[in-house]
DNA sequence: AAAGTGATCATG
DNA sequence: ATGATCACTTTG
């Protein structure tokens, strides 16, 4: 069991997304630490991925995606839900992994609510933080790859990429 | 099937 | 300053 470090997060989002399945998302809530295993992810990779927020360039909202991997990219979706992404890859190339589900909670908005994650944690360093971080205990679940959810606005080529990863066992 | 909800960003 | 657009969830 060890905390995940920078080298791991510097891998491209396409590599990181499936590998994050089974990793443990850790959150300090008051006196206790909540640990939940990741069960579902999606990757968003580069400005050429028309489903990725960075496809329309760098803005105040998307700037975290351009940083070096290992920080949090969090934004408000549909005015209600905070969605939590892990920034991936090297500085300058935008990419991230949306955490869509953890054990006990399915849906990207549900898990952030359960863990008390909101935009006050935008840009937080997941390697150094005592609020939010990831641990690896070596567990490797089986999974399947499918199309991403809720990105009908993207080009067909990007809609059809198998960039959603779901634990099967 | 469709509302509810508000930050974000392009447009004027 | 205004308005369209959402990487969702719940309710009917």
Confidence of residue A132 (pLDDT cuts 50, 70, 90): very high
- CA gap A71, A21 in Å, rounded: 18
Characterise A139 by phi-psi region: left (phi > 0), alpha (psi -120 to 50), beta (else): beta
Helix (H) or strand (E) holding A157: helix A156-159
Residue A162 has pLDDT above 80, yes or no: yes
Are A115 and A107 in contact, with CB atoms under 8 Å apart? no
Confidence of residue A13 (pLDDT cuts 50, 70, 90): very high
Any idea which nucleotide's C1' is nearest the CA of A76? B7
Q: Comparing C-alpha atoms, which of A44, A57, A27, A127 is closest to residue A88?
A: A44
Rounded mean pLDDT of chain A?
A: 97
Confidence of residue A158 (pLDDT cuts 50, 70, 90): very high
Q: Which bases in strand B are touched by protein, i.e. have an atom under 7 Å from a CB?
A: 4-10
What was the pLDDT predicted at A146?
A: 97
Å between A78 CA and B2 C1'?
Answer: 14
Any idea which nucleotide's C1' is nearest the CA of A81? C8
Give strand pairing partners of A112: none
Average pLDDT score over residue span A106-119 = 97
What was the pLDDT predicted at A60?
A: 95
Residue A138 has pLDDT above 80, yes or no: yes
Are A100 and A108 in contact, with CB atoms under 8 Å apart? yes
Q: Percent of chain A beyond pLDDT 90?
A: 99
Are A84 and A112 in contact, with CB atoms under 8 Å apart? yes
Any idea which nucleotide's C1' is nearest the CA of A49? C7
**Residue nearest C6, CA–C1′ metric:** A78
Tokens of A47: 């400005």
Q: Does the CB of A150 fall within 7 Å of any strand C atom?
A: yes
Average pLDDT score over residue span A17-45 = 97
- CA gap A5, A141 in Å, rounded: 21
pTM for this model (two decimals): 0.95
**Residue nearest C7, CA–C1′ metric:** A150
What was the pLDDT predicted at A169?
A: 75
What would the pLDDT profile of A32-87 be if each residue is shown by its tens digit?
999 999 999 999 999 999 999 999 999 999 999 999 999 999 999 999 999 999 99
- CA gap A69, A73 in Å, rounded: 10
Any idea which nucleotide's C1' is nearest the CA of A58? B9
């Amino acid at each position: 069991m060890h905390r995940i470090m920078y080298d791991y997060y510097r891998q491209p989002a396409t590599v990181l997304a499936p590998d994050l399945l089974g990793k443990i998302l850790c959150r300090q809530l008051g006196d206790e630490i909540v640990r939940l295993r990741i069960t579902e992810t999606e990757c968003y990779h580069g400005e050429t991925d028309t489903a990725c927020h960075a496809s329309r360039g760098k803005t105040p909202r998307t700037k975290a995606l351009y940083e070096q991997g290992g920080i949090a990219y969090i934004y408000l979706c549909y005015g209600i839900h905070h969605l939590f992404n892990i920034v991936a890859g090297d500085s300058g190339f935008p990419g991230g992994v949306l955490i869509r589900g953890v054990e006990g909670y399915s849906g990207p908005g549900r898990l952030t609510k359960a863990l008390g994650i909101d935009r006050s944690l935008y840009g937080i360093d997941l390697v150094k933080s005592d609020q939010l971080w990831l641990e690896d205990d070596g567990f490797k679940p089986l999974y399947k790859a499918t199309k991403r959810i809720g990105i009908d606005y993207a080009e067909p080529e990007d809609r059809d990429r198998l960039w959603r990863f779901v634990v099967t066992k």
